[in-house]
Amino acid sequence: MEADIVVVGAGAAGLPAAIVAREAGASVIVVEAEADIGGHAITSGGNVPLGGGTSVQKKYGIGDSPDILFKDLTDWSVVEPNGFPDYRYNDHEIIRAFADNSAPTFEFLLSHGVVFADRAPDQRGGGAVGNSVPREMHAVPVDWPLVQTGAPAAPEERLTFSTGNGLMRPLEAAARKAGVEILLEHRLTALHREGIRSGRVTGIAATHGGDSLNINARTAVILATGGSTGNVEFRRMFDPRLTEEYCGLAGMPWSNQDASGEIAGMEVGAALWGLFNQSGEFGATITKPGRIGTQYGYVNLHWQPGSKVFHKARATGLRVSDWQNVILVNMLGKRFYDETGRQFTANNYNVIRPYVHGHYLNAKNIRYEPNNWLNAAMAGIGDGKNGGGPIWAIFDSAAVAREKWQTKPPHVDTEAGFFYEAGTIEELAAKITMKYQRVPMPPENLAATVALYNNFVVDGVDSDFGKPKPLYTIEKPPFYAAWSTPVIHDTRAGLRINAKCQVVDMRGAVIPGLYCAGESAGGFSAHGLGRATCQGFIAGHAATG
């Protein structure tokens, strides 16, 4: 097969790139590894941070411009509520390109069928998208079925519910209408380049149903493969703690982030870029699970039996409304932190008040939240291995009643070992034998932990970790253990690119014919859809310009 442009990945970056390139007159093939388009973007909350003076910002009297956006995203003086400075490590060339193309990308989405909730931009769903003005817009599903349920949204929510389904299905329709060829279940395995480390990138190697094939790219290949956090070996280059038990990637099991784009790029000489943005502890890069008893516990992604990937998700999970209802223990059956503690924090509109661009007092005006539930959860347990191992929520039937949980499949995943029930605490500990539990949980440890915690409840004081007034004893059988291990979310480091999204090698030279956009590209610390759609837009133009 052959096309002018080969786009790898049909997600938030890939589809805009494909549409732009096709509308510029190029023939375009998109290869997508999964059985459907959308990537993490279709599972997302559809909160789209694009600004710099969009038509909607103007409509609501919000003064924004490319310069304000650029200054926001490169402001050295801004720190997160946990003290980490996430804009300080952004590559200014890449941010300038984003700032200049952000509003045009938004208008491109509008003109290609994406419907946004008819209200003023706000700050909902953002993370590192600038402090000075609201930029979040919310894609709505209209009548598209939701991948999470298999059904359309409720009639009263079709124009208000923010969801990635409302972003990606219209883009798919626009791509097909424009004549983009989309090859599903085609997985990139390598890039072809004229020389090993020289010359132009000429196409890709892919697999499809067990067969290997090559697709030639007459002009360019655009990598839009969505990041690397699903690849244990790759992600541990940035954070050695992230061993295999962190298996509940947000966005899975719809699609993975297996670093295949990054690795293919590196094999033809590409450099990585902006690596602090991955290991800096901010935003949703790693999150506390919001649903327990399931492998895929990301708080905002609720798989339900009608979904066509439910056989892979296996359970809906139990939504925790009050962390007072459980204690969390590590592999050894020991508590490690206040269960109500929060995760890494995120910078966003109005987090710093008052805020003056580049002012050294900005850091003083932030409300610090030096929370470290995640660091405590991922701390080693002393068995000589990296990674903290599974975290288990332990609770009794009284907690089940308070939370109105249902403790049978499909609500919980008993078959794959993400949920256990037993008549005594000791039996419960002995039952936990799943593959990531690399040491047995000593029953006497869990019994002692529960007994001590029950004493804390009676005394009204958690003298180990300071949980605010522990409320409920754990004493009414049956007892339960539910998977509650941290969830990995965004990739914020990837291949080195320049302002045109051209991939750059380790000597600082552009690799001719190779582009990268979205979470597989480095140098830009921000949560999600804004940078991905915008870089797809940039790459599509640059590759055909």
Ligand X SMILES: Cc1cc2nc3c(=O)[nH]c(=O)nc-3n(C[C@H](O)[C@H](O)[C@H](O)COP(=O)(O)OP(=O)(O)OC[C@H]3O[C@@H](n4cnc5c(N)ncnc54)[C@H](O)[C@@H]3O)c2cc1C
Interface positions with ligand X (CB under 6 A): 8-14, 31-34, 39-41, 43-47, 49, 125, 187-188, 224-227, 250-251, 255, 258, 260-261, 298, 300-301, 490, 518-520, 527-530, 532
Beta carbon nearer to ligand X, 260 or 278 = 260
Q: Are 170 and 115 in contact (CB under 8 A)?
A: yes
**3-class SS at 419?**
strand
Beta carbon nearer to ligand X, 432 or 529 = 529
Beta carbon nearer to ligand X, 25 or 211 = 211
The token pair that represents 177 in the structure block = 């209408």
Integer Cα distance of 474 and 527 in angstroms: 38
Of 13, 524, 421, 463, which is closest to residue 225 (Cα–Cα)? 13
State the CB neighbour count (10 A cutoff) for residue 80: 25
**3-class SS at 357?**
coil
Beta carbon nearer to ligand X, 47 or 485 = 47
Q: Are 295 and 413 in contact (CB under 8 A)?
A: yes
Please, what is the minimum distance in Å from the beta carbon of residue 116 to ligand X?
Answer: 13
Please, what is the minimum distance in Å from the beta carbon of residue 5 to ligand X?
Answer: 15
* DSSP letter assigned to residue 62: -
Beta carbon nearer to ligand X, 45 or 540 = 45
Please, what is the minimum distance in Å from the beta carbon of residue 186 to ligand X?
Answer: 6
Beta carbon nearer to ligand X, 99 or 394 = 99
- The phi and psi torsions of 192 (rounded to 5 degrees) equal -100, 135
* DSSP letter assigned to residue 122: B
CA distances in angstroms from 26 to 105, 285, 337, 545, listed in the order given: 19, 36, 55, 10
Beta carbon nearer to ligand X, 251 or 293 = 251
Q: Are 29 and 218 in contact (CB under 8 A)?
A: no
Please, what is the minimum distance in Å from the beta carbon of residue 498 to ligand X?
Answer: 18
Please, what is the minimum distance in Å from the beta carbon of residue 277 to ligand X?
Answer: 13
Please, what is the minimum distance in Å from the beta carbon of residue 137 to ligand X?
Answer: 10
Integer Cα distance of 225 and 228 in angstroms: 9
Distance of CA 38 to the CA centre of its chain: 14
Q: Are 16 and 537 in contact (CB under 8 A)?
A: yes
Please, what is the minimum distance in Å from the beta carbon of residue 228 to ligand X?
Answer: 10
Please, what is the minimum distance in Å from the beta carbon of residue 266 to ligand X?
Answer: 14
- Please work out, in degrees rounded to the nearest 5, the angle formed at the alpha carbon of residue 510 by the alpha carbons of 505 and 512: 115
Beta carbon nearer to ligand X, 132 or 229 = 229
Which amino acid would we find at residue 332?
Answer: L
Beta carbon nearer to ligand X, 467 or 492 = 492
State the CB neighbour count (10 A cutoff) for residue 200: 17
Please, what is the minimum distance in Å from the beta carbon of residue 105 to ligand X?
Answer: 13
Beta carbon nearer to ligand X, 298 or 480 = 298
Integer Cα distance of 276 and 494 in angstroms: 11
Beta carbon nearer to ligand X, 258 or 338 = 258
Q: Which residue is nearest to ligand X (CB)?
A: 11
**3-class SS at 42?**
helix
Distance of CA 425 to the CA centre of its chain: 35
Beta carbon nearer to ligand X, 279 or 437 = 279
Beta carbon nearer to ligand X, 89 or 392 = 89
Integer Cα distance of 245 and 388 in angstroms: 9
Integer Cα distance of 545 and 540 in angstroms: 8
Please, what is the minimum distance in Å from the beta carbon of residue 106 to ligand X?
Answer: 13
The token pair that represents 364 in the structure block = 């003083």
Helix axes 92-111, 66-73, angle to 10 degrees: 130
**3-class SS at 279?**
helix
Please, what is the minimum distance in Å from the beta carbon of residue 373 to ligand X?
Answer: 20
Please, what is the minimum distance in Å from the beta carbon of residue 445 to ligand X?
Answer: 34
Q: For the residues of 79-92, what is the DSSP string, one character each?
A: --TTS--SSTTS-H
Residue given tokens 């000589």 in the structure block: 384
Integer Cα distance of 29 and 5 in angstroms: 7
